[in-house]
Chain A
Amino acid sequence: MNIFQIPRFDSFFIFRRVINLKNEADKIILYLPNKIPIDKQLLNIGFAQATIAFSRTFSSSFPQASLHTEKYRWVFFEPEPNYWMVFLIKNASNTQAKESKKNEKFKYEFTNDNCLFQALRKGYYMFSLFYHSFNHLITNYSLEELRNKVNQFFSFFIPTVDFIQTSLKKRLLSLFQGIRYYPLDKNMFLKVYCFVNMIESSFSKIKHSIFLYGSNLIWSSLNLSDTNSLYNFLCGYINPKPAVENEYLVGIEEFFIGKTASPQLPQPKNYFNWSLEDISKLPQNPDLFNYPELVFHITQTIAKARSNFSDFITGPKLDSKKNFFLPKIFVGNEEKKQHVLLIYKANKVIFCLLVEPDEKLQTMSFYNQMKKRIETEIETIVNNLFKSEHILQISSQNELLYKFLYFNEMNLALKETLSMCKEFELRHQFLMYLSSIVDSFYNSERLFINQEKRYFQLKNIEQQTKAQNQENNKDPIENNLDSQKQTQTEKYVNLDQNLIEVTTNINNSLWIVMKRAGSRLILMLVENQNLNISNISKEVDKLNAEFFRTIYLN
């Protein structure tokens, strides 16, 4: 009997490198799950530290890296000097139980380093948005405070990380941590821009603002990285997508059809249970708010909100008029300054105001004044946006004909129609292969003008594997593995760092075209059996002409 287990979260830890420590445990900042005995924790941390120290001898600056072992995948990230964040993921395994013997084989290819690394980065930048930095907390408060805050934040953040990207879509989206911009015509955009400017200029205490429609950004006066972090936070909690509990199951089943696989689903939400009682027991610090409190406050307010809700989410508490909930975040170009985050929600519009900390914020009149001002103007904007959304829906029907992903590094703009199409039934090895190409695309050194195009084609691999299956009657997973090795070697032979276009055919039916121009990247999927490579390039040209005409490509 075969039992397949998907990659599992083993642990996540943050430690610091300090010399002359009295107690070894002092270097641990966070270890999740925290029920693990301290010895085991120290063992893992020691191992990580040793790996880092060892690899330093080969590279003066330790690069973003991962360590592959038979059972585990280690991903390291050094966000601040001497602070390390490490993910430890247990590889997928296939257990063949023959009588009393258990033969467990681990499949390391189910996890992607790049995706995990992106998740770590995303987590850190979101943390630093709320608490500045690890070092800031230690120097200004205490190690204990840092541990508290890190624990509070990451116990909410880790469950949102997708450790197994079973589908191409998921993998791509977790790789490109972009911002979705709301497509608007010039005049409508100017209206929003002028509205934001008007509010900012009417209240001198407002320093920055962000304007979102649904989970799409329209305007932000913050710098790009702050915008991205705040955008990620807002999209995560204010406009959460409906959680699909069965998603894992569906994905896995599709891969192992015909097998007696009983995948054990991870239940990330059960790892760290926060209840309202726990939150009320949290220590209160006037300068540093508690992250769980913010999350609960927002989710509860939104749950209570009616459809015609138009009010502050943070700021004055809705039920009790005297209390104020004022979360503070750190933003700024060179020096990060603390601002109070006020979130205003009207219909689908989320309007965030970053206000300089001030005594006025503790008075209700300030909010009333601001609310009055916003309310008078925002109504027309909401209506206009609602109309534009309708127009957009009609026009986006064209987009559905193409499945593509567009990403621009310069403004982190992400646009994709992958979520609108059904999941591709991809063999796992192709998924791996594709993501490795994307990796090389995404990580390769960016040159402004690249070398000539190189067409790269993969054909008949699927047929080969099928033939092999019939011959050897082997386990398909293992079989896939072999072909994976093949394709990987091919990758290193054929792809160099200055890729600008890759065209791939899979299964003789799915074409994947990846194209890069400067900082922009387009990935396109075409499902048609009767196309050859020249037809595909025409298809790509068509897509370009339709959607990216005004964006310089090549």
Chain B
Amino acid sequence: MQFRYYVELFSPLYFNPKKYQFFKFDNSIEDLILFQKGRIQGINFYSNIHSSLKIPDLANETQIQELEISPNKNYVIISRKENSIIEIFFRFNKPLKYEYQPKKMKKIGFTLLGIKWLDNLNFLLISNFRLEHMQVLTNKNGVKRIKSYNLGKIHGFTFSFENRIIILITGKNATTTNAFQFRPKQTIKLPIFELKYSRLKEPNETERNYCLEMNKNLMIVQIYRNLYCVQLIQEDKKVKIYLYQLNKESISTCSIETMIPRNKFALSVVDSLLLVHDMELKVTMIYDIRASDDDEAKITSPLSIKPFSINEKRLIDNKSKKSLKNNGKSEKKTVKNENNQNNQKIELYKDQWVHLPPNFVLDPVDGFVCIYKLDLYSIAVSITNQLSRVQFLLRRSNSKSILIKFIKTMIIENEKISLLSYLFDVINNIYNTVSYLENSKDTQTEKPVITIQNDMILSPKRKRKIKRSRSFEKKIENNKNQSTAPNIKRIGSVFVKGPKLPLEKLSKLKDLRNINKEKLVKKTKQNENRKQNQEIDLDINLDEINVFDEYEKDKNQKNQNQKNQKNQKKKNQNKKKRNGLPKTNPDGYVVLPQSDFYNNIFFPLFKRKAVEYEFLESVLTEYIRSLNELNIPVQVFLFSFLIEILLQQKKYSQIYHLVQYKVIPNTESLALQFAGVFSSYPQALCLALDGLKMRKESDLIIQILLSKRRVMQTLKFIHHEKLKNKLSLMTIQTILEFAYFAQDPLIFFTAWNFFQDQLKDNEDLWKDYQKKNELLIEKWNQK
């Protein structure tokens, strides 16, 4: 099967470009900003929350060059094409205007490169002469300069709102970078690094165009939990990607050679994959920086984006929706009609397309904003090497279901056990690392680890999401464990990264795009509150999340201190030799806990009899071996399942073998399972009783013996264990009932006699049993 598309445009947000005097997509607050006749409209891409701001002063404005809205949408900064005065408009209090003219503004050759909001009050002014950190004074309706940075001539910059990092291109040849991170109470200067190559300004080129061009090639993105500055440049007739990993102490560089020959390209990042779009050949290539060079998953074959079409009706709808918004008409009807309409195909890879990090595309001609979405299944299918495929999927964020599907088919197709064994090792390595972190987190909350590097890696929002998802999973797993092993903490979780919301949720959110205004206002307020809280949390979260990156170092330090872990090291070395696996797998996002394996892979295969039991047994034992080797406590249900498979094959002595070598642990539930299979495998009863005896579960032993109607054995057991006086009257009565049920006067008499002391206290019972005894003897005599 050939899949023709790996990438598609997803979740379009439409607007009519002709209607607005100015529009842009702000990727920091993820809002589409539309300006028309003094009215600024913001539509959030993900939540579809509309916000608007009326500025009567701008009613006739046509010269807007920059328009930046603060995250809380209270302030708007505008700069015009001709003059270099920045006007700031206030939303609340009184709608006021403040004009700010930077010092030396009149100096010849001054160009404003950009304005970037840091939070609700602070913003950055980037001009070709300096970088200025400004703050809005709410009380005075004024602006205060907090600090200015003179760095020589600035050619361009790139900014990441999430991490509040700005990278400025400076120096004579526009190759030196100055990077700053703005945190609430301090500003950190990151190490200076040299860009590989930047083109010089052409004689005819205007300063502004040159700077824009500079900006275009730089991008700050997060890939595999690390922050990178990505640069795309043409080298030897081929485009090369340079990745500068931003750390607090140092900058490390790596590069990827692309297959794109021309200098017309764009870059997006989806789910830690680099998407390089060749705008001329109209193809996209996907690069995975974690895949090794000889790995098949390193690069996909160049394919176009999936054809994308706009529903004409939809366009009209969009307009009508906006006009009808106050009437609160539902969207459902339009969605139904959608299929019947003629779709207008849209030209892909337009020159006008604006790519915004990480994966936004703005089409100014047809008027929509989209994100790129990967078709993971198609990509995975295109990778023929099973191992690379699974490893590729393991690195993705939303690939769990696809991964399960592939593992399942591998088992159905009787893939080589050695390969499956290796895969289990890889998967469980991640599982182990994550659970280790979860455990270490619990213990280390009091003493946050001192951050050395990468403290800007995840945005607070994401961290919270991860935290939430983890705690949720934790609860589920804990609940599951409670019945069997309450002391074991095993946590499986999904690391949500890439798009801010999982794509599945996104589509649901689409439906929410028309909500009443009242609700919207409420929501925006809530959001504001949340955001404020976030900022307070920022520092703590940063430290917490660093546990992840410090894991290796921390562990090594511990190793030196603890004698016991020497052995572990040795073991790990062995593992490395055997599997060539690293000790931890930081690439992993997808964690497949044991319950997933059981519920989604093993049990369905067993139930449908899709695989021979013998093969399933081999696969399951490989899985258990892998867990055991990594010292992960194996959940009881897996053993119970293994026993079931062996019983189906009538491999009775093998079950005994596994118990003997303590592969199958001694737990109550397994003992009861053994007791249950007594009819087909008599020795299982012995196994069950052995196990229970070791666990000192005498009540259960009595119950089991009685259920097999072994009254005499029960009595012997009670006598031997000296339990006679500890038994409740209820238990004694049930034993006597069973003895009576046997219809053998000898058995009944023995039991009755045995419990004489206990029964004599209760006269009624004593008489009752006396009668029964006589009855039995009579019956016996009649026979």
Contact = CB atoms under 8 A, between A and B. Distances in A.
Please indicate whether A and B come from the same complex rather than being unrelated chains: yes
Interface of A: 181, 184, 186-187, 189-191, 193-194, 197-198, 200-202, 219-224, 227, 333, 377, 380, 410-411, 413, 447-452, 518-519, 550-552, 554
Contact of B625 (A194, A200, A411): A194
B663 A181 contact: no
A411 B628 contact: no
Nearest to B649: A221
B716 A190 contact: no
Contact of A450 (B615, B689, B710, B716): B716
Interface of B: 414, 416-418, 421, 578, 614-615, 617-618, 621-622, 624-625, 628-629, 650-654, 656-658, 660-663, 683, 686, 689-690, 693-694, 710, 713, 716-717, 719-720
B660 A190 contact: no
A194 B660 contact: no
A141 B578 CA distance: 52
Given A186-B661, A201-B414, A411-B653, A552 B713 contact: no
B625 A193 contact: yes
A227 B653 contact: yes
A190 B663 contact: yes
Contacts of A447: 713
26 contacts: A181-B660, A184-B661, A186-B663, A187-B629, A189-B661, A190-B663, A193-B625, A194-B421, A194-B622, A197-B617, A197-B618, A201-B414, A201-B618, A219-B657, A220-B654, A222-B653, A223-B652, A377-B418, A411-B653, A411-B657, A447-B713, A448-B710, A448-B713, A518-B690, A551-B690, A552-B690
A200 B624 contact: no
Given A198-B421, A450-B716, A410 B629 contact: no
Nearest to A192: B661
A201 B653 contact: no
Nearest to A450: B716
B693 A552 contact: yes
Contacts of B629: 187, 190
A219 B658 CA distance: 9
A227 B651 CA distance: 13
A452 B720 contact: yes
A194 B621 contact: yes
A352 to B, nearest CB: 16
A245 to B, nearest CB: 37
Contact of B716 (A189, A219, A451): A451
Pick from B651, B661, B662, B690 the residue with the most CB of A within 10 Å: B661
Contacts of B618: 194, 197-198, 200-201
Given A186-B663, A410-B686, A193 B656 contact: no
Contact of A190 (B615, B625, B694, B720): B625
Given A186-B662, A552-B690, A193 B683 contact: no
B414 A333 contact: no
A184 B689 CA distance: 24
Contacts of A413: 660
Contacts of B651: 221
B661 A198 contact: no
Pick from A189, A449, A554 the residue with the most CB of B within 10 Å: A449
A41 to B, nearest CB: 41
Given A190-B625, A191-B625, A552-B693, A200 B421 contact: no
B215 to A, nearest CB: 55
Given A197-B622, A220-B657, 9 more contacts: A184-B661, A190-B663, A197-B617, A197-B618, A198-B417, A198-B618, A410-B686, A449-B716, A518-B686
Contact of B694 (A181, A193, A552): A552
A193 B658 CA distance: 9
A197 B578 contact: no
Nearest to A412: B653
A377 B694 CA distance: 37
A56 B505 CA distance: 83
A413 B614 CA distance: 25
A197 B653 contact: no
A184 B660 CA distance: 10
Given A197-B622, A452-B720, A410 B683 contact: yes
Pick from A181, A189, A519 the residue with the most CB of B within 10 Å: A189
Nearest to A554: B720
A187 B713 contact: no
Contact of A519 (B615, B622, B650, B686): B686
Contacts of B624: 190
A189 to B, nearest CB: 4
A223 B661 CA distance: 17
A449 B713 contact: yes
Contacts of B657: 219-220, 411
Contacts of A221: 651, 654
A220 B654 CA distance: 7
A198 B694 CA distance: 34
Pick from A187, A190, A223 the residue with the most CB of B within 10 Å: A190
Contacts of B686: 410, 448, 518-519
A187 B660 contact: no
A198 B625 contact: no
Contacts of B717: 449
Contacts of B716: 449-451
Contacts of B719: 452
Contacts of A333: 650
B720 A449 contact: yes
Nearest to B690: A552
Nearest to A227: B653
A220 B662 CA distance: 16
Contacts of B414: 201
Contacts of B661: 184, 186, 189
A189 B664 CA distance: 12
Contacts of B628: 186-187, 190
Contacts of B720: 449, 452, 554
Contact of A187 (B615, B625, B650, B653): B625
B615 A380 contact: no
A223 B628 CA distance: 27
Nearest to B577: A380
Nearest to B417: A198
Contact of A201 (B614, B660, B694): B614
A450 B713 CA distance: 8
Report the 7 A-B pairs with minimum CB-CB distance, sorted nearest first.
Answer: A197-B618, A552-B690, A190-B625, A198-B417, A189-B661, A449-B716, A224-B653
B660 A411 contact: yes
Nearest to B663: A186
A216 to B, nearest CB: 12
Contacts of A227: 653
A220 B621 contact: no
Contacts of A377: 418
Nearest to B618: A197
A202 B416 contact: yes
Contacts of B690: 518, 551-552
Contacts of A551: 690
A193 B713 contact: no
B110 to A, nearest CB: 71
B656 A411 contact: yes
A452 B661 CA distance: 31
Contacts of B652: 223
A189 B661 CA distance: 7
A220 B617 CA distance: 15
Contacts of A219: 657
Contacts of A190: 621, 624-625, 628-629, 663
Given A220-B657, A449-B720, A519-B686, A201 B417 contact: yes
Contacts of A200: 614, 618
A377 B421 CA distance: 13
Pick from A191, A198, A202 the residue with the most CB of B within 10 Å: A198
Contacts of B660: 181, 411, 413
Contacts of B421: 194, 198
Contacts of A448: 686, 689, 710, 713
